[in-house]
Each structure stands twice: as C-alpha cells, then as structure tokens.
Amino acid sequence: MSTTHDVLFRTLADPTRREIFEQLCREGEQTVGALTAHAGISQPAVSKHLGVLKTAGLVRDRQEGRQTHYSAQLGALSPLIDWTRQMAGFWENRFNRLEDLLKRMDQ
C-alpha cells in the first residue's frame, strides 16, 4: 500500500523531476519540447518524469495538435503542507503534556 505522502515525497525526491516542477511553477504551462530544452536530458526521460509527476497529481496535461502542454497543480502540495503542520503539532502536544506534568508536580 502506497500512501499519498509516499507518492508526493518520492516524486519530489528526484532533483531533475523537482526542477521540472519548479520550472512549471515559475513559467507556467510549457510544452514537452520547452521543458526538454531546459532539462539537459533526453526527451523520453523528460516524458517519463512528467508521467510520474502526473500520477502524483502534481501536473496536468493538455493536448493541442501534436504538442502536449503541461502545467503545475499547486493544490497537490497540500498533503505535504498538512504533514509538516502535523509534525509541528505533535511536537507542541508533547510540550503541552510536559507543561501539564510540571504544573501537577508543582502542586
């Protein structure tokens, strides 16, 4: 079983793939050709990365003639943001429990 967090983290873990995603965030919708020009790797490699990004929900594709335009789906990042918040939350809860303990010890 592969969770949403798994897919997101694994997808963004590769520098090349993250670079492509950042490019789409910065410049908006781009064709595969344009992305390949920046990436410094072969077109098939770029297509494979785009496939992974699409599976993760991080990009959307739009066909137009023989070109495919890809764009970033920023909303797909929210599980990641939620996760960091949750980690911070755990930390605070432990801190509060410690505070309570100290209060009880104080009485």
- In the complex, which residues of this chain contact DNA (CB under 7 A)? 10, 13-14, 16-17, 31-33, 36, 41-45, 47-52, 61, 65-68
Q: How far apart are CA 8 and CA 55, in angstroms?
A: 10
Q: With CB cut-offs between 5 and 8 Å by kind, which of a second copy, DNA, none does residue 51 bind? A: DNA
Q: How far apart are CA 95 and CA 88, in angstroms?
A: 11
Q: Is 38 in the site for a second copy (CB under 8 A)?
A: no
Q: With CB cut-offs between 5 and 8 Å by kind, which of a second copy, DNA, none does residue 94 bind? A: a second copy
CB atoms within 10 A of CB 32: 18
Which candidate, 30, 99, 37, 100, places its Cα nearest to that of 67? 30
Q: How far apart are CA 12 and CA 50, in angstroms?
A: 12
Binding mask 42-81 for a second copy (x = CB under 8 A): ------------------------------x-x--x--xx
CB atoms within 10 A of CB 101: 10
- Site for a second copy, rule CB under 8 A: 3, 5-6, 9-10, 12-13, 15, 18, 21-22, 25-28, 72, 74, 77, 80-81, 84, 87-88, 90-91, 94
